[in-house]
Structure 1
Amino acid sequence: MAKIGIFFGTDTGRTRLIAKQIAKKLGDLADAPVNIGRTTLADFLAYDSLIVGSPTLGDGMLPGESCGLSQPSWEEFVPQLAEVDLSGKTIAIFGLGDQKKYANEFVDAIGLLHDAFADSGARIVGRWPTEGYEFAASKAVDGDEFLGLALDQHHQPVLTEQRIDTWLEQIKPELLP
């Protein structure tokens, strides 16, 4: 059975820790998480099923060099997807944000990644309810759902593990052939 690829972008390391937690919970079903700034497009495309994660930085941006990161991240990787056909790929997205300090762009990175992958033909799975969060706006919302798993390690860290467990049970059948 093909393994699930896990790719993440990070600023402070929180997204990396969540990616590692997800990988541990998936066990043999997934390969070790990889920082998107340290991989190639070919390595990314080697997977048919992927879980991708990102924090939202500043005013709703993907992590990258223009945000002050010392290495490339999603900001530099996403443009490569414009020339790629992701048909046949299934992708689940998780994102980290701060719903109080950045209430107007909470987990926007989920929406930005969703659009990039969907525009390239990928099937996106893993929507998550907005109930239980307090924020003003987000590019990651469609109706009453986030386009992926939204996590707030600043204000709701005690909810993270249960949210991950529930989300993984939801997406596993979609990601496994």
Structure 2
Amino acid sequence: MKKIVIFYGSTTGRTEGVAEKIAEKLGVPSSNVYSASDIKKVDIASYDVFILGSSTWGDGELQDDWYDAIEILKNENLKDKIVALFGCGDSYSYEDTFCDAMGILYKELENTGCRFCGAVSTEGYGFSSSSSVVDGKFVGLALDEENEDNKTDERIDNWVEELKKCIG
């Protein structure tokens, strides 16, 4: 069985809550769920699957805990590791930068040799632009806990089922 770790960047607690829900659905122990600010405490090489989440701040920026963490992570040997991304954003007030932080994580890691899984269709989402859309799909699970929290559980359930297929 592949060993899974979840890192999240959360200021208000919403992204942390999503990380905990994902962990529960995948059977990941809470001891393998970390704030991105704690990445130095984790033996990266011991994990096979990385689930990374961030809220989007300001004008499409990465959550603060990720600035040092992403530098550490992208300098690790991620060759053949599986990476799945999730992001929280506000598709109404920030419709032109919806879940951009997830797109930033993707861009930072795309040349590390990792294998991404968990892309999600943009169908059913209301937004005008997002750097997390690549080839017509979100690079991971996009969530709007501000305006569409009633869709979160179903979106997580569907995404987790796809991840299970990808992870094996």
TM-score range, shorter chain: over 0.9
Equivalence for 1:8: 8
1:114 equivalent to 2:138? Answer no
Identity, % of aligned pairs?
39
Equivalence for 2:45: 45
* Cα distance change on mapping 1:82 and 1:143 into 2, 3 Å: closer
1:91 Cα deviation (Å)? Answer: 0.7
| Matched AA of 2:96 | N
Equivalence for 1:100: 92
Give deviations 1:63-99, integer Å, cap 9, x for gaps: 11xxxxxxxx111111224433311210110000000
Higher relative strand content = 2
- Give the stretch that moved more between structures: 80-89 or 163-172: 80-89
Q: TM-score, normalised by structure 2?
A: 0.92
Residue ranges of structure 2 left out of the alignment (5+ in a row): none
Equivalence for 1:62: 62
Question: Superposed, which structure 2 residues align to 1:1-177 within 5 Å?
Answer: 1-27=1-27, 30-32=28-30, 33-40=33-40, 42-64=42-64, 73-176=65-168
* Count of matched residue positions in the alignment of Structure 1 and Structure 2: 166
1:41 Cα deviation (Å)? Answer: 7.0
1:57 Cα deviation (Å)? Answer: 0.7
Q: What secondary structure sits across from 1:20 in the alignment?
A: helix
* Cα distance change on mapping 1:4 and 1:81 into 2, 3 Å: closer
| Matched AA of 2:35 | N
Q: TM-score, normalised by structure 1?
A: 0.88
- Give the stretch that moved more between structures: 41-50 or 135-144: 41-50
1:3 Cα deviation (Å)? Answer: 2.6
CA distance, structure 2, for counterparts of residue 139 and residue 154 of structure 1: 19
Contact 2:96–2:130 (CA under 8 A) maintained in structure 1: yes
CA distance, structure 1, for counterparts of residue 136 and residue 67 of structure 2: 27
CA distance, structure 1, for counterparts of residue 74 and residue 83 of structure 2: 16
Q: What secondary structure sits across from 2:62 in the alignment?
A: coil
CA distance, structure 2, for counterparts of residue 39 and residue 77 of structure 1: 6
Residue ranges of structure 1 left out of the alignment (5+ in a row): 65-72
* Cα distance change on mapping 1:39 and 1:83 into 2, 3 Å: closer
Q: What secondary structure sits across from 2:51 in the alignment?
A: strand
CA distance, structure 2, for counterparts of residue 83 and residue 20 of structure 1: 26
CA distance, structure 2, for counterparts of residue 45 and residue 11 of structure 1: 27
CA distance, structure 1, for counterparts of residue 24 and residue 74 of structure 2: 31
Contact 2:117–2:166 (CA under 8 A) maintained in structure 1: yes
Contact 2:119–2:137 (CA under 8 A) maintained in structure 1: yes
Contact 1:127–1:149 (CA under 8 A) maintained in structure 2: yes
